[in-house]
Amino acid sequence: MQITMEQYTASTRALINLAYSGTSAAKTAAQVLLSAFNGEEWQLNINDLSLLDSNHLRHALTFIVARVTLGTEPQELIENGNQVFLDLWDSWNHYNVNNRWKRQCPECYGTGKQYSNMDDDNDLTTEICINCNGTSYVSEGVYA
């Protein structure tokens, strides 16, 4: 399978757009991108590729083959690539290998924040959630 740098770049852009789309396939696009960016911290669940439509599956497979055969890191293909991938990292942190087993904090609904004054509906001031310490995730059975 011969892939050009232009095809690799186009597939990278398509997957970045999909990762921010808010669809069920966004998670898959993020996993593909981030596992190529840092495979120790991010791993693709291959079964999730079935969530992609045929066009995005083609982009994912092109991206994977290009990353392996061309040897160019994906963040080098786009303007502000390091920042784009770090933003993806932050946006999809729940799927980092260190967090995958954790569940969303039930007290803050994964926001990492809670209202400072729960008795006042007009006070929208927030503070770090004491249950998850602002991380958005908890281990099973961990409550403050």
116-130 pLDDT per residue, tens: 887 888 888 889 998
Give mean pLDDT, residues 70-90: 96
- Same structural domain, 130 and 80: no
pTM: 0.76
Residue 89 banded pLDDT, cuts 50, 70, 90: very high
With 50 as the cut, is the pLDDT of residue 144 above it?
no
DSSP tally for the chain: helices H, then strands E: 4, 4
Range of the domain at 34: 5-95
- Same structural domain, 82 and 114: no
Residue 11 burial (10 A CB sphere; 0-12, 13-18, 19+): buried
What is the count of structural domains for the chain? 2
Give the per-residue pLDDT at 141.
57
With 80 as the cut, is the pLDDT of residue 142 above it?
no
- Same structural domain, 69 and 140: no
- Same structural domain, 77 and 138: no
Buried b (16+ CB within 10 A) or exposed e, 55-94: ebeebbbbbbbbbeeeeeebbebeeebeebbeebbeebbe
Contacting residues for 32 by C-beta, under 8 A, at least 6 apart: 15, 44, 60, 63, 64
- Same structural domain, 78 and 119: no
Question: What are 11-70's pLDDT values in tens digits?
Answer: 999 999 999 998 889 999 999 999 999 999 999 999 999 999 999 999 999 999 999 999
